[in-house]
Each structure stands twice: as C-alpha cells, then as structure tokens.
Structure 1
C-alpha cells in the first residue's frame, strides 16, 4: 500500500483533513492540480465554531494573530447586525483573513505532522478494488498510480473525484449572479466594513489586511440565468456607483470575479472507498461566508472516523455516520444560503417590506437573532444520538475545571476521546474503574469538578464522553455508583473496539488526571 489515504484537493478542507489523519498516524498524500496556492481568496471569513475546532488542536494562534476580529455578522444583509458577544464560546467573533493564508498555515501544519503534499499533480481516475482504491495521477513528469485504503475528494465544486466515483451532484442552476473586486481605493469609507441594500442593489466594502478593499454585491440586472462573461473594472465602477453613490476612486484591481447561486449537493458523501468533503460535497452562494467553515467542519467530522477505520478500532457503522451526520448539515447550508440570496436580491418594494418586517421581528424576538447567529457561526450543529441525555450529540463547550489551568479544548489536542469524571467520588471512582475495565489507547480520562461559572445543562452531569471532534458522545447524571458504572461500560464498549494489538496493551492505559 502506497498510502493509507489519498486526498485530492489542497484547500482548507483537504489540508485540515490531512492534519487530522496525521495526528492519528495515518499515512496521507495530498495532491492539488495548482502548482502554488491560489492567491485569489474568495473566502475571507473564519467563524467561531471553526476557530474552536482549530483551538482544540492548538492550531489557532497564528490565525488569531493575523486575522481581524469582527464581533458582528449579517444574515442576508438585513439592517440589524447579528451580535456575537453573547455566544457561548471563547471566540465571539469572526476572523477576516485571506483563504490563501489560511490554506498556507494549514498546509504548513499538515507537512509538519508528516503529510506528503504534491502540488502540480492532478487526479484523473480511479479503480476501486475489494480492499483498496487505485488513483491515477498526472504529475509534471507524467502519469502514475497510487494505491490507498481510501480516496477523499476535497477538489471543489467541479470535483473530478466525485465524477470518477459516479456520485450524483443534484440541485438548482444559478438565477442570481454576484460579483467581487479586490481593488485599491483613493477615497475609502471610514469603517472597516460598509454595507448597503436598496432597490438599486446590495453591496459590501471590506477593508483587507494588505490595505486593499474588497467590494462585493448584486444589482437588479444580475437577476438572470445567462452568463454575461468576465467581470470588468468598468462594471465594478458602475455597480458601485449605483449602490453606494460612489466608486470610492477604485483602481488597480488584482482580482475581479463573477459567481452564481447554483446550489447542489452530493447525493452521498461516501461511496465505497471514495469519500467527499467540502465544496466537492456541496455548492452554494457564498452568503455569510460559511463555505470554508463548513468544509473544515466536514473534515473534522471525517478525520477521526476515517483514522479509526484505517486502524481497525472503529465500531460498526462509524464511517457511514460521516454521511449521516454531515449530509443534513449540507442540506441546511443550501437552505439558509438560498434564503439569504432571495432576501438580498429581492429588489422590489415587496422585497424591501419583507426585509423591513424581518428586521423588526428580530428586534422584537431576540431568540430569532440568537438562532440565526448560532446557525451562521456553526455553533448550532448537533447530531442525532441514540442516547437519551439532552447533551448527547451536541457540541461540547470549552469547559473549565476547579484548580486546573487545563480546559476542555486544551485536553483535546491529541485528537482522542475525553472521558470526564465529574462524579466527585472518592478514590474508588466508578468512572475511573470503568475507564480501566474498558481501556483504550484512543481515550484520555480527566477527573475533576467543573468550575463555578458553568452552563446549567452541565450542572448535574456526573460523567461525559467527548468525541475527538468535540461533540458529546454520551453524558450521564446518575449518582448511584453501580448504575453509573453500568451505563458507562455500555457507552465505552459501543464507541471503542479494541484491535488484537491494542487488547494486549490495554492494561497499561494511563491513570486519570486528578485535580
């Protein structure tokens, strides 16, 4: 076997998947047809949930240092901005940073972890066998093949991997066109983010880190199904004047682009030994800047499951749960981006009144703003769980502990399950005993009490098992030691299957950390 996993596509989703696989010691090859990282960055936004994901692996500091923090967001460019300050996260803001820089930082991490990156190499076909998949790749020196356990397509909306696997990509064609220009301005607006909606069109002006500005928008004449050709600087000036009343003295464009609201989703995210993630799995209008984020979150969900399958300790159905959990997230993504597109492009009196009505409703019903904010930022995602506790399947917040400098995200940096012993038991802890009985090298146990300022949903929890991707696999409020131990035995046996080699060394598992 040449590699255990081959990834086609070296964008943020592909690079983060490679990081996760290498963290679990899976041999990984990434190929990308571009010789260099594309300097033109359609994505500029990293949302709070994505920052949490990076923080849970210690991969967030450089992005925090370089990105501009924006404490608000928007839904369909409504007049009422979404306030992130009340979010239950250490990172109540979005980061504005070029996708090219995000990709470069994740690529550096992947290489440091041992991934092989080959740029200028293009996937062209596959042959799936009973126990492997053969990828045909064209490189600078000709064509060659690579055998791997699995092939993952992170190669964008025109995914060659998806096509070679015969996976359908269904949805709707574009009915609205957006445009953008990265330019210099002689007379820029004073605010870092300016946005406006009127019957003449909608637009945003965003100050970029390098002193340039990005102008994006939609005009009434962009409600169309045909493709009018490449976007020009003359159009950018005309469109900007129509929306803002000025073109801000724009000049020296380094990138001009046009894009549509085509919305499609792969019918399955896995077909045999071929798996899709990121834009290869879902295409949508870039409303709210969510695309890069959902792709990285796909990779986070897939990484540990694929590693567990490759290494042989995955319980039955674990890899299939990638589609089961992430496909509905993709459906939700298409729904809310299309809804935003409809609101942004409704350049009629009726559309204006609808936008005004929704803005008033958000002010009257703060819970609507909270729901939209959590949806936009990715903090709302929860997965179905057979376990009855209300926390099961939800995202675990960054819990802190009495007398300890550690917090949950810092405990997760090795990419393993975290078993939290919150039972306040004496040395004969039923949680610790169950951990030892069901010993597994891919699980750590932490024993301690939650610090005072915690969420009410966690106040009665005596034990919880956190998945490597930061979601609650199991939680319990049982105080009877025997019943608690029994429930935990069942939970651990369902989530961790020992290989023969692991079983031999299971007795040598590490003790729980006591605080």
Structure 2
C-alpha cells in the first residue's frame, strides 16, 4: 500500500556519515529533514579512519565534535603523515585549532551524527530503498520501498548521499567523467598463522605494496596494491584464498592467514559528477566523487561537502538565500574534488613499484620533512590550502579564506571564533571603531546574522569580518561594501526577496548539466 508523506522540506538519500552530517546541519537549522537509508543498521565494516585538519576545524566550528582545543604556548600543532607511502610529511595547524589529524572510525562518526540529527528533529528511516525519483518545477517526489510497503515523499529538494553507485545520480541523469581502473587492491581483517610474518607498516616490494596495521585482539588489517592491472573479476566477492595468494605473491613468500572478519577489493577507478546540482537534486560525498583511497582524503572531502551545502540549503528553503547562492555549492566543492582526485592519482603514480621511479621517490623523501615543498603538500592533503572563489565583484584580500580560531573578549566575556559559529548562523564580527557603521549596513539582515562586538586583537586580520557558518570569510573591508556581500549571500531586504519553499528553482535540469 502506497503512503504519501509530504511533511519534509529536504529528503536525503543515504545515511552514511555525509548524509547524517547533512541531516544534523539542516535539522539543527529548523529544516524538516528525512533520511532514507537502505541499510538496517550502521555498517561494522572498517572504512575510513582519518579526518584531516580542515574537516576537523569546520566540524568543530559547527559543534559536531567534542571540545578538542586547548590553548597552547606553541604557535602550531603538528601530526606526522605520509605522501604516497613516503614518510616525513608533517601536517600542521595553529595551536588554537584542534590537532591536525583526528583518528576516528567511520562507523563511530556515523553513529555520532545520527544521534545528533535525531536530537535536532530529523527523521531517520532505515531499511528504505529508493525506487523512483520525479522532479518538477516546484518539488521532488521520491518513492521508497520500506518495511511497511511503498512510501512517497514530496520535498523542496533531494540530496543524494548514497555512495559511489548512487541511485540518485543515476535516476537524475547527472553525467560524470570517469577514469578506468588500472590497479587491483584488496583489504581485510584476518589472523596470521605466524603472528610475526608481517610487521606493521607500509611495505613496498618489486610487485606492489602490503600495508599492515594491528586491529587489536590478534587481528591484523591488511591492504594490498597490485599495479599489474585491474582484476578481471573485481566486482566478485573476495575470498580468503585469493587474499592470501595476493599477499603471498606481493611479498614473495607464503603468508598463511585464517579467520577473516571481512574482505573487500577496490581499485583506482575515479569518477567526478559533471554537476553537483540538477535543478532540485543535489549530490554529496561518494555520490559526487570517487577516487583512489590514499591518504584518508575521501571521508574528509565528503564531510566538507555536507558542511558547505547544509547552511546554503537551509537558507534556500526558508527563502533567505541570495539569488545563485545554492549554485556556489558546485562551484566551490567540485573543483576541490577534482584536486583531490588528481593528487590521489599522483600518489598512486609514485607508488608504482617500477625501479625507474626510485630516484623520484628518493627526491620526495628528501623534500617532505619541512620546507616549502613539504608544507605545500601537507596543506593540499589536509585541504588547508583551500581558497574559495570570491562572490563580490571587487573582493578584499581575505574574502574566501579560512578564518583561524582566535580568542576574543566581548561584553559577554571571553570566547573564541569556534564558539561563536556553533549556532550555525553567519557571524558579523566587529572589533574596530567603525563597528556602528557596519551594524547600520547590516541592519536589514540582522535577523539572519550573529553580530558580535569584541575588543580589538592582532589575532584577527581585519576589524570587521562576515564569516560563513563553515568558517570561511564572506566579506572584509577593502573591497565592496558589506551591504553588497549581504545582498549576494542573503538577497535583497526591504525590496525583492528570494523565492520561498517550492518556488521556481534557480536553474533548470538542462542548465545544471550544460
């Protein structure tokens, strides 16, 4: 029996960490949100475990992580990392920010975000598989098969966060550019018959790589890379015998193993959606981009998608977004995914076991520890080099740059930038003598803004800053007036307003895919 459910403003397909985070953001901003997830429970299979600096910084600004920051006498924090398996890279961040690398299993993040989404009022419907998507000028209708039969949902927007084989991307007809697989990779948790047969670490041989990590309780987590070419049966389930043979072949000695807890295969197949938006349908996470999983960048990239999209989509459905604001999601996040795809391919090229690459690997090993080259690579891998495209016609130097945390003295006491952004509202931060002038310019938008007057401090680059909920600077003095930026982001006030829910979308399907 079909049931119609028209109570939601946003439907999210996919309840992984990206979908659950987006549900947190939207529900926390008062948007009626439903998540449709095909799985009945959080997957226990090990996946990503690394969150990089910019993702950690943005998550904490939105209150989705515990209080990890303690003021330090040092000027920077640093965490050791690698590039293409070559050690020596150091990922750093200012001392007022969290540690640059956070190790946290993906399943724990998913549970955390789901709990927060439920508390905020989102509806999470598990065991619901999407079977139909219909987009009109005014809404999106989604049909899902669940435990009680068929249910249809009508919403203002639909977000596909449903993974690499995205049903939403396919049914919306959003094209993508892909790069075929060139390598075969495997992973699994097993017990070694000889516990000392493989030591933890990254092991390169003339045939490929074996990466070994202790998973606890006598279990080891193994990953392999075979650069001879893609496996001809890479879509079939991986068996223990095949996994054992692969590890043994790469190491050139017998490695006996038993008791597999999980086994998986993957490759360097890459895909990037040609558009992140098609009318009222948007993509996030692996539904939008897939790349070789090196350096722990995939999960971080998807979560940054959600943090970029959430507040914009909330403004849009409330009728408070400037014309074209929602389209900036594609312009800001798709180039970031392309950049990560490219650096993952570059790392894989360095990992190919050809002896001819040894001089290049040696050169990288000598350049990674410190210096401009290592710093540039560390900023790229951690996404701290991201500068967003300007929206105002005559931007200041700081527009589009990330605002580092700073301690502030306000009338309400001592606080910091991180704490001020946890409301999820754009922040107008004033520290100079012209504060009243800026307040007057922003008066028409004061219901949307969190306006804070603080004592002047050299920790801030300007005496007035408009800061987006994700921590990036939307405006600062030196370019167009504040009112211009506010109009671009939040629409005209006192005159024409942006269309409210179920109004005409900013771009049609054909426009989004052109």
Measured against the shorter chain, the TM-score band is 0.7 to 0.9
Is this contact kept in 2: 1:162–1:280, CA < 8 A?
yes
C-alpha distance in 2 between matches for 1:500 and 1:184: 68
C-alpha distance in 2 between matches for 1:237 and 1:472: 51
Match of 1:141 in 2: 148
Is this contact kept in 2: 1:13–1:278, CA < 8 A?
yes
Report how far residue 19 of structure 1 moved: 0.7
Q: 1:161 to 1:500 in 2, by over 3 A?
A: farther
1:407 to 386, 392, 416: 416
Establish whether residue 493 from structure 1 lines up as the match of residue 487 from structure 2: yes
Report how far residue 186 of structure 1 moved: 6.9
C-alpha distance in 2 between matches for 1:143 and 1:198: 53
Establish whether residue 362 from structure 1 lines up as the match of residue 356 from structure 2: no
1:44 to 38, 49, 64: 49
SS across alignment from 1:423 = coil
Q: 1:246 to 1:87 in 2, by over 3 A?
A: farther
Q: 1:193 to 1:369 in 2, by over 3 A?
A: farther
Report how far residue 382 of structure 1 moved: 1.6
How large is the RMSD of aligned CA atoms in angstroms? 3.0
C-alpha distance in 2 between matches for 1:415 and 1:147: 26
Q: Which has the higher helix share?
A: 1
Q: 1:129 to 1:224 in 2, by over 3 A?
A: closer
Alignment of 1:261-340 (within 5 A): 261-340=268-347
Is this contact kept in 1: 2:28–2:117, CA < 8 A?
no
C-alpha distance in 1 between matches for 2:374 and 2:148: 54
Q: How many corresponding residue pairs?
A: 480
Q: TM-score, normalised by structure 2?
A: 0.86
SS across alignment from 1:394 = coil
Report how far residue 258 of structure 1 moved: 0.7
Report how far residue 430 of structure 1 moved: 2.1
SS across alignment from 1:84 = strand
Which whole-Å deviations, capped at 9, do the CAs of 1:115-168 have from their partners, x for residues lacking one? 000000011111112211111111112222110011110001111111111111
Alignment of 1:87-486 (within 5 A): 90-184=97-191, 194-208=201-215, 212-221=219-228, 223-224=229-230, 226-227=232-233, 229-241=236-248, 250-344=257-351, 346-363=352-369, 366-385=371-390, 386=392, 387-402=394-409, 404-424=413-433, 429-435=436-442, 437-449=443-455, 451=457, 454=459, 458-459=460-461, 461-476=462-477
Is this contact kept in 1: 2:61–2:422, CA < 8 A?
yes
Unaligned stretches of 5+ residues in structure 2: 1-5, 70-76, 498-514
C-alpha distance in 2 between matches for 1:227 and 1:342: 23
Which whole-Å deviations, capped at 9, do the CAs of 1:50-93 have from their partners, x for residues lacking one? 221221122212999xxxx9922221112x33112455762233
Which whole-Å deviations, capped at 9, do the CAs of 1:250-299 have from their partners, x for residues lacking one? 54221111101111111111001111110000111111111111111001
Unaligned stretches of 5+ residues in structure 1: 479-485, 504-515
